[in-house]
């Protein structure tokens, strides 16, 4: 019982941290995407003006 409980705990902790990591990575990816879009828009404005 005790060893399985420990295994389940570590497993859930790993899943939790993996989830956090995925969320953070997603945020970073989204930010970089937004930056790229902003630079593209700026370039278009520069060309048009």
In the prediction, which pLDDT does 1 show?
57
Across the chain, mean pLDDT equals 89
Using a pLDDT cut of 70, give the percent of the chain over it: 98
Q: pTM (2 decimals)?
A: 0.50
Separation of alpha carbons 36 and 28, rounded Å: 12
Q: What is the DSSP letter of 9?
A: H
In the prediction, which pLDDT does 23 show?
92
Separation of alpha carbons 14 and 36, rounded Å: 33
In the prediction, which pLDDT does 42 show?
93
Residue 31, H or E segment: helix 2-48
User: Mind listing the pLDDT tens digit for each residue in 7-26?
Assistant: 888 999 999 999 999 999 99
Cα 14 to the center of its chain, rounded Å: 16
With cut-offs at 50, 70 and 90, classify the pLDDT of residue 48: confident
């Amino acid at each position: 019982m005790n060893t399985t409980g420990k295994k389940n705990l570590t497993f859930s902790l790993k899943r939790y941290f993996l989830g956090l990591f995925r969320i953070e990575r997603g945020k970073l990816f989204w930010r970089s995407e937004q930056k790229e879009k902003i630079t593209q828009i700026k370039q278009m404005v520069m060309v048009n003006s």
